[in-house]
Structure 1
Amino acid sequence: MTVLNALRERIESHFPSTAYADPSPHAFQPAPLLAFATRVTNAYAADARLVDTDAAGSWRALLTHAIEVYEAVRPCLDITYSTRTVYSGPEDIVADLERGRLEINTEHCEHPLWTPEENCIFRIAHDIIPHALHLRPFSLEGEVLAFHDHVRKAPPEARLALFTEIFGYAAIRYSTGVYPEAQKCIVFPELLAEYEAAFLPPGGSAQA
């Protein structure tokens, strides 16, 4: 069994998928997706808070999930940390995983609610679940689909935090060319609902 297949088996056995549809192909087009991403970017910039205390529980649920993913995959991998740009695409991650390795970039790990170590644990889960197991590319479309992949594996309470941590930062990166200077723990339930209404098929946001 390859390392990637072993990781897939571990993820599938520990985290059964819940219902969350893929975007509708006719709606999931570059221009409307970028326009929506710009709205997310503007909403993020307009909120001066670093932490929405009412939403902190969503980040706790997401961190608990990320730690569980880390514990499930850790026996298969030699995980190292660096400050260099490690991978240029999902194929590079897969190639390293097949050697039994994963390297995590530790830059920009200042987070309002997580320690740098906890932030890296989330990055491990993000690199493995959507990028390696689903080959999601490093692009706006790829990261939005990565959000879908991760919603299916994470608890419902983590969905709003996932929207910010994956969709939100990708929206900023690909609409402005750079990531934000500061990470924020703020949620956008109205924008998530609008995204699901505009880009998912009817009933596609249901999570069993």
Structure 2
Amino acid sequence: MTIHKEGYKTILVAFIIAFAIIATCYFTIDNSIIRNSFYGVAAVLFIVIVNFFRSPERICKQINNAVITPADGEVVVIEEVDEPEYFKSKCKQVSIFMSPFNVHVNWFPVSGEVLYSKHHSGRFMGAYLPKSSTENERTSVVIKTDDGKEILVRQVAGAMARRIVCYAEEGMKAEQGAQMGFIKFGSRLDLYLPLDADIKVKIGDKVTGTQTTVAFI
């Protein structure tokens, strides 16, 4: 299993804490049942954190006019909305909720030029709430495809997330399926697509980043 680079520091800290717990219990607790319980808790927490930062190697089959899923998770929103930050007009929104057990790497859903990339400070309410898209800590990225279509991808922090990492910079060339960023712990990804986008997923679908086609534009 490959570990994402964004997890190196966190995993090191988790290892030090787990080791300290185990060492303290070994020298201070005589009851073997209690001591082994602490060992188990420390080990499980460490494994959960390591698992969170896994970074699977995936091959993206690039398809013309396709918008691929930028994250693992569950589709929780499909609706027409007014996008107030960049388009300032109606779009089709598709939102994917990532639980703490999902892979949290984010990928570029299309190839093209990055026209806009902006980070916004904000709240840390549950990422499943509608207001999280506009009030939570978030980063918005707009990509213009080679045929002139523009889409917006928004990384949204959740109640547990405390850091959004985004590699997209204005003017750079985005490649469909390449890593766009990472969100630490529970969060969601919002896609804002043209109104004529042909959506290929439905609410409740479990989707896989780089592998599931969200829409054709």
Q: Which has the higher strand share?
A: 2
**What TM-score results when the alignment is normalised by the length of structure 2?**
0.28
Q: Which has the higher helix share?
A: 1
Compare relative contact order (CA 8 Å, sep 6+) and give the higher one, 1 or 2. 1
Tell which structure's C-alpha radius of gyration is larger.
Answer: 2
**What TM-score results when the alignment is normalised by the length of structure 1?**
0.29
